[in-house]
Amino acid sequence: MNTTPTGTARSAPERNAVETAEPAEVLRAEGVTVAFGRGARRKTVLHGVDLSLRQGHTVGLVGESGSGKSTLAKVIVGLVRPVSGHVALDGEDVTGPRGRAATLALRRRVQLVPQDPYASLNPRMTVGEAIAEAIDPRRGGLARHRAAVEARLAQVALDPEAADRYPAQFSGGQRQRIAIARALAVEPEVVIADEVTSALDSSVQAEVLNLLTGLRRSLSLTMLFISHDLAVVRHVSDEVAVLRHGRLVEHGPCAEVFGAPREPYTKVLLASVPGRGGSA
């Protein structure tokens, strides 16, 4: 029986309120505006973007190339500072000036899995060394952390002996799995997957997407999944947010956005999804 802290049984309305409560908000971007350049060359790439992530949920961020998706990811992990607006992680503003230690701590709390599986791993480090370094940057020896490294490799369906091999010995899809394992090694609060399947062929894309789908369920991942492909976003996301020219034009549950999109731009994107018959 459900009880309160004092041992008193909860009433049915109280139990329902607990069971239907919204997951806690982990990350919130408010009014994020980013501009590059000066004077006549100044270009605004994000215009007052608001976006939130709830615990255990995946938001798919979609838009054409150049819409500002990756720039928003870089703001969240502290690589780009907005000219206005802020990002809060568990209620803490993480967009202000930060020292090196605070910046490194933020990047452990929010892990970015980049697009290019070939450039994301140090070719001079074994896979195990790269994951061990993520686990403990100060004492990241593979011998010390082998059990944890092998556990992470198992999570992404790679054999333990992969720890002793170098990135060049793996295919693109396998390298992306390794990048995911390295991101998960620090047990981040938020994972940002930035176009992680765009450099892979279609069969390997499906494998990586199925892996992410399984991980988000088994680990209750909180994830921002960035893609230009709505069909891919639908496969892994609870919600969809649509960026156009740096402005968030639509955001809602997958079923609502795919079933009854409000914005003409979203309808155009949906019309390009295979199997929709050119209608949205």
**Neighbouring residues of 142: CB distance < 8 A, sequence distance ≥ 6:** 126, 128, 129, 132, 149, 163
The CATH label, of 3.40.50.970, 1.25.40.10, 3.40.50.300, 3.60.15.10, for the domain at 24-120+190-271 is 3.40.50.300
For the entire predicted model, the pTM comes to: 0.85
pLDDT at 279 (0 to 100): 43
pLDDT at 17 (0 to 100): 47
Token look-up 């202000």 returns 96
pLDDT at 2 (0 to 100): 52
> With contact defined as beta carbons under 8 Å apart, do 202 and 35 qualify?
no
**Cα gap 33→270, rounded to integer Å:** 27
pLDDT at 10 (0 to 100): 55
DSSP letter, residue 172: H
pLDDT at 278 (0 to 100): 44
**Cα gap 84→132, rounded to integer Å:** 37
> With contact defined as beta carbons under 8 Å apart, do 29 and 71 qualify?
no
Give me the average pLDDT of each 10-residue run along the chain (280 residues): 50 51 90 93 96 96 92 92 94 81 82 85 93 84 90 95 95 94 93 90 89 92 93 91 95 93 90 60
> With contact defined as beta carbons under 8 Å apart, do 261 and 280 qualify?
yes
Q: What would the pLDDT profile of 174-229 be if each residue is shown by its tens digit?
A: 999 999 999 999 999 999 999 998 888 888 999 999 999 999 999 999 999 999 88
- Annotated domain spans of the chain: 24-120+190-271
